[in-house]
Copies of this chain bind each other. A is one copy, B any other.
């Protein structure tokens, strides 16, 4: 099982990644001329758990900038006991409801409708079992072939370094997961999605999966700023902005109707502001 030392490594990695991502996005804010560049505001929060005086907590970093209309980058390390009705749904929790979980989660809604929105999340969960999960997916309003190809390539490389089966499985899983059945349309152009990933409950297994998790973060940190730079200075029309607002409405529909993390968090008394930080600054159902 995940040791105290490994838990520290995990939560430290997620926090460092948060800082590096925030710095990279603030850098992009410097690269356009109008208005003052956006800066992240950080807010720490403590989780309330009926079963224990200390349930962990997290740090939300939120920026409302001139490149990023809304960017939320959250880390959290939480622990306690799952409520009985949810314990049943979680691997290894039916036997013992105690859990420990640490992760990073971000959603970025750019101002410019030509810059794609993005989501990234990686996490480690410990019950009587332990595993990694995560995903990255891109949601352009206007699709650019080169962006799509480069985005997929970045995560293909991150996957292939660790296991040749990862990329095809995790890409297909992403397409399946980020899909709006009532609209019969995908949320965006996909990426990767994985859950219950474990290469064995051994030191080697942990090291392998943690290294993959880190590479997913590194790939994000490399590819996304590149995609932003390609489009962030393009002018846009009212009509193009309106298309973005309609696309964002689909994002809201997905997150509130289908996203397991969102529904789970809201149903288990998670931090509402952190959970709903993914929702766009402005959306339209015209």
Contacts and interface: CB of A to CB of B under 8 A. Distances in A.
Interface of A: 64, 70, 181-183, 245, 249, 252-253, 256-257, 263, 266, 272, 276, 279-286
A263 to B, nearest CB: 8
A257 B253 CA distance: 9
Number of identical protomers: 2
20 contacts: A64-B286, A70-B286, A182-B272, A183-B272, A249-B279, A252-B252, A252-B256, A252-B283, A257-B257, A257-B263, A257-B266, A276-B285, A279-B285, A280-B285, A281-B286, A282-B282, A282-B283, A282-B284, A283-B283, A283-B284
A183 B276 CA distance: 11
A245 B282 contact: yes
Most interface-central of A263, A276, A280, A282 (chain B CB within 10 A): A282
A281 B253 CA distance: 14
Contacts of A181: 266
A283 B249 CA distance: 9
B272 A281 contact: no
Contacts of A272: 182-183
A187 to B, nearest CB: 14
